[in-house]
Structure formats: C-alpha cells, structure tokens
Amino acid sequence: MTQKPVEKVNLLGLTLPKMEAFFISIGEKKFRGAQMVKWIHQQGITDFEQMTNLSKALREKLKEIAEVRPPRVTFEGDSSDGTRKWLLEVDGGSKVETVYIPDGDRGTLCVSSQVGCSLDCSFCSTGKQGFNKNLTVAEIIGQVFVAARFFGLPVKDSQKRSVTNVVMMGMGEPLLNFDHVVDAMSLMLEDQAYGLSKRRVTLSTSGVVPNLDKLARVTEVALAVSLHAPNDSLRNQLVPINRKYPIHILFDSIRNYLDGLSDKRRVTFEYTMLKGVNDSDELARELSELAKTIRCKINLIPFNPFPGTRYEVSSRNRIYAFQRILLNDGHVVTVRKTRGDDIYAACGQLAGQVADKTKRSSRYIQIQDVTERIQDIPR
C-alpha cells in the first residue's frame, strides 16, 4: 500500500512564538525560531539550503517536513503613477489581489483577508462576488512577503523601506477570518519580521462587533470602520450586518477598542459617497452629530462603480459640500483622491476569479478594484 505523503508545514505563516514552538517540537533550540523568521521575512529566503546559520543536518530535516511557500504570482503590473498590483493564486486555485500605492514617503500595501466576502454590502463588488474561502496566515502575510521582496529587503531600514503601511482593505472582511488575520498582523508588527509600527497597520471592518471586542484584547493596530450612513435605517440597507449590530452597539465596541489603546488615537470612518443615497446636506449634519460622540476622523470615498451596480458616484461638488458641513463642525475629514484613467484600465478588470460558494456572483462579473478604496489612510 502506498503511503500518503505527509503534508509539509508552511513556515511562512508561523508567528514568532509558533515558529519557536515548531523548533522545540522537533527537538531544536527555541532561538532557531527567530533565526527562521528573519530568514524568511527580512531576507526573503525560501530555500533552506541558503540558510547558512543552520547546520546541514537541520537543513536536511527541514526539507523533509517543512517548506516556505508563498502564494504564486500569476499577474503583476504597474501603472504610471507607481501603483503596483499583484494577482496571487491561493490554495484551491482562487486569486486575490494585492495593491501597492506609493504616496510621497509612504508606501501602502492593501492586503486581502478572504476570497470574496459573505457580508453583501450593497455597493461592494467583492460582496457581490460571494464568499469562497478564508485565506491562511501564509496567504495573508504572503502578500506582504511578495511586495517586500519585490521592492528589496530589508524592509526594516526606514530609509529604504518600501512597504511603510499595511491596510487590511482588500477583498474580504478581516474580522470574519479572525485568527489568521491576527497572526498575520502579528508578523507585520514583529521586530524579527517586518517591524511595522502598530499605527501603520490598519484593520478595516464593516462592524462585526463580537470580533471587534475580541480584537481589542489582542492587538493595538489602527482601526477603520465602514460606516457609510449616519442612521440605522439607511445603514441597514447599505451594510446588512448593521441589522445584527446597529450603530449604537457598534459605537460602544469602537469606544471600547479606542479605550484599550495605549495611545490616544481615533477611529477612521469610511463613508462611500453614493449619489442621491447618502450624500445630502441633511445626512452630513446627522453624520456630524453622530461623529461628535466618538474620537474619529472621516474619510469620504467616491463610489467606484462596477458593472451591474445600481449606484452612482456623487458629484465632486456634492462631495465637497458634504465635507464642508463636517469641517465647519470641527471634524477631521479627508476626501479620497481620484486616480488617473490608466489606473482604472490597469486594475479592477479581474473577471470571474472567485469560485462563489454562495452563488451570489452570477449577477456580477468584476472584482472591486481595491486601489480605489485605500487613499487617505492614517499615517
């Protein structure tokens, strides 16, 4: 009888404590964990043979039982403003998008957490694709690995660093892939790995309250919340999870998160501007009153249309009038910059990449262009 080959452990997805535990479990010293994390994430090395501070015997042992396997890059492309995009194939054959956006001395990487999304926000094309799977830790941190390796390591040298910020704003709802996202973020923050500061890693959520409460107990990364409406009746239509966790419950959970931080930081509210839906002066005034109840800044995002959507983007004048009302009340409000036409052409044309398990996607064909969502992230 032929024996099934033992599945190798993918060391790419192990946090420092888990890497140390792995080495202890194979009879090695704990410090091997930090060595391995550095080889992978700071040197970009995936071949055990090149890990020169490991003995020959250990390298041989590792080859038998382990591997360092990043997601496979199936497409990469630049646009004229320096934005770079990778399409990565993950286990099961689906593809996810990772986008790098340079802006002055900042380089922001927009990372996906799931293939598709189960939450079905009415203006989001990822939601319209339906849900396929949670990404593994290796697939999430693998996006940072691929980008950091492309730009040249080490990333820890702030002069040379190319990926200065990470935002969990790609495909998927990060709080619905909680454990994997938390582990991946821990590698982003880990000094032996990417060493990013907790202010430069942002998790964006549509408001999965119980998991936001859990998050408050395990991390201090920056928080962005997709608000999109200042009252429950409108938010129920745009962000269906609001029916389960309405605004006052969500706000309590955000306050609890902010209170748990060791520094004074604000939540960033994302508010996608939808023509004739959530962009009136009256709603701006309602949003202003709501925003006074919490430490926040507001990021107005022009809606990015996709085929099959019933929404349109608010006019530039409407967006600025909406912003003015909030500014006059003393709020910090940014409007996401619009990008050149070539970006629209280069990105967001990824038809049929999600093998939808919910069958929702039959109505829609495109994946949301994540580059459109991630401007004006807190520095």
Given the residues 20, 28, 97, 190, the one annotated as active site? 97
174, 180, 181, 187: CA torsion to nearest 10: -170
- The CA distance from 377 to 322, in Å, is 19
End-to-end alpha carbon distance in the chain: 59
Nearer to ligand SF4 (CB atom), residue 61 or residue 275: 275
- The CA distance from 306 to 273, in Å, is 14
Size of the site for ligand SF4 (CB under 6 A): 11
Whether 347 is a known active-site residue: answer yes
The contact mask relative to ligand SAH for 285-324 (x = CB under 6 A, - = no) is ----------------x-xx--------------------
- The CA distance from 2 to 329, in Å, is 72
The contact mask relative to ligand SF4 for 197-226 (x = CB under 6 A, - = no) is ---------x-------------------x
Q: Which of 270, 279, 356, 376 binds ligand SAH (CB under 6 A)?
A: 270
Q: Is 169 in the site for ligand SAH (CB under 6 A)?
A: yes
Output the smallest distance, CB 186 to ligand SF4, in A: 22
Given the residues 110, 124, 296, 347, the one annotated as active site? 347
The conformation of residue 340, written as its DSSP 8-state character, comes to: P
Output the smallest distance, CB 131 to ligand SAH, in A: 12
Output the smallest distance, CB 376 to ligand SAH, in A: 12
Cβ–Cβ < 8 Å for 318, 275: yes
Which listed option, ligand SF4, ligand SAH, none, makes contact with residue 200 (CB within 5 to 8 Å by class)? none
Whether 220 is a known active-site residue: answer no
Q: Is 205 in the site for ligand SAH (CB under 6 A)?
A: yes
3-state secondary structure of 331: coil
Instruction: For tokens 């998008």, name the residue.
Output: 97
Tokens of 61: 């042992």
Q: Which of 98, 219, 226, 314 binds ligand SAH (CB under 6 A)?
A: 226
Distance between alpha carbon 168 and the CA centroid of its chain, in Å? 1
- The CA distance from 102 to 305, in Å, is 23
Q: Which stretch binds ligand SAH (CB under 6 A): 75-83, 189-197, 327-335, 366-374?
A: 366-374
Which listed option, ligand SF4, ligand SAH, none, makes contact with residue 373 (CB within 5 to 8 Å by class)? ligand SAH
3-state secondary structure of 207: coil
Q: Is 250 in the site for ligand SAH (CB under 6 A)?
A: no
Residue spans of alpha helices (H) in the chain: 16-25, 32-37, 56-65, 125-128, 137-151, 178-189, 209-218, 232-238, 247-259, 281-291, 316-328, 341-346
Touching ligand SF4, residues 84-143 (CB under 6 A): 117, 119-121, 124, 126-127
The conformation of residue 40, written as its DSSP 8-state character, comes to: I
Q: Which of 23, 39, 123, 145 binds ligand SAH (CB under 6 A)?
A: 123
Q: Is 272 in the site for ligand SAH (CB under 6 A)?
A: yes
What is the enclosing helix (H) or strand (E) of 266? none
Instruction: For tokens 């930090």, name the residue.
Output: 34
Which listed option, ligand SF4, ligand SAH, none, makes contact with residue 253 (CB within 5 to 8 Å by class)? none
Chain positions contacting ligand SAH, by CB under 6 A: 117, 121, 123-125, 169, 173, 204-206, 226, 270, 272, 301, 303-304, 368, 372-373
Catalytic residues: 97, 347
